[in-house]
């Protein structure tokens, strides 16, 4: 009888062992580096990084997100879009609104909503609303695509306005 229990117990631990041995995920987490000096882990940390690397189903963060990212106020500037609203609409027509925080970060907890991909996104701040021109096919972490500067490998960071005057409501005319 003992010989039958041992293999069953061993088989039961294999999924847990496999989760601990995901070298690719471990490398992705390590590649993010340490926390920025003076910024504690929490909602305002790591702006611009692919949130779901740590906040996905494999952890190591305790909270799990279905969609998350960072929004800058103006193109080619690092000022966060504080208080913006990110609208996410899934293929079933369900819409979820998520506010950005002091770092420009937004997130949807996995317990709040699991969108059916593909999803469409737009962000609004003051008088400006910017619609993402393509859909998001399957990855809920914006920085998986939106990283660094715009170029062949990335559309660049997510932003609301092309210039600061747009956020003032004059459409960028300076009037």
Q: pLDDT band at 87, cuts 50/70/90? A: very high
pLDDT > 90? residue 36: no
pLDDT > 90? residue 53: yes
- The pLDDT value given to residue 34: 82
Which one is predicted more confidently, 88 or 2? Answer: 88
Q: How many CA atoms lie within 13 A of 163 on its CB side?
A: 8
Q: What is the mean pLDDT of residues 59-87?
A: 95
154-167 residue pLDDT tens: 999 999 999 999 99
Q: What is the mean pLDDT of residues 91-95?
A: 98
Edge-first strand listing for the sheet containing 95-99? 95-99, 85-90, 119-125, 128-131
Q: What is the mean pLDDT of residues 24-41?
A: 84
Show me where the domains of the chain are located: 2-29+42-167
Which one is predicted more confidently, 28 or 129? Answer: 129
Alpha-carbon dihedral 34, 37, 42, 45, rounded to 10 degrees: -80
d(CA 82, CA 73): 8
pLDDT > 80? residue 117: yes
- The pLDDT value given to residue 175: 43
pTM equals: 0.81
d(CA 81, CA 98): 13
Percent of the chain having pLDDT more than 90? Answer: 63
- The pLDDT value given to residue 9: 54
Report which secondary-structure segment, H or E, holds 98: strand 95-99
Q: Cα 124 to the chain's mean position, in Å?
A: 17
């Amino acid at each position: 009888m003992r010989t039958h229990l041992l293999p069953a117990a061993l088989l039961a631990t294999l999924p847990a062992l496999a989760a601990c041995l995901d070298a690719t995920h471990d490398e992705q987490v390590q590649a993010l580096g340490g926390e920025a000096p003076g910024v504690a882990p929490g909602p305002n940390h790591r702006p611009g990084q692919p949130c779901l690397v740590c906040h996905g189903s494999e952890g190591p963060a305790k909270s799990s997100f279905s969609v998350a990212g960072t929004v800058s106020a103006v193109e080619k500037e690092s000022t966060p879009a504080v208080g913006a609203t990110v609208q996410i609409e899934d293929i079933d027509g369900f819409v979820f609104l998520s506010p950005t925080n002091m770092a420009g970060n937004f997130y949807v907890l996995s317990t709040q909503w699991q969108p059916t991909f593909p999803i469409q996104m737009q962000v609004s701040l003051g008088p400006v609303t910017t619609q993402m021109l393509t859909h998001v096919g399957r990855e809920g972490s914006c920085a998986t695509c939106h990283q660094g500067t715009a170029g062949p490998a990335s559309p660049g960071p997510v932003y609301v306005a092309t210039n600061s005057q747009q956020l003032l409501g004059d459409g960028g005319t300076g009037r």
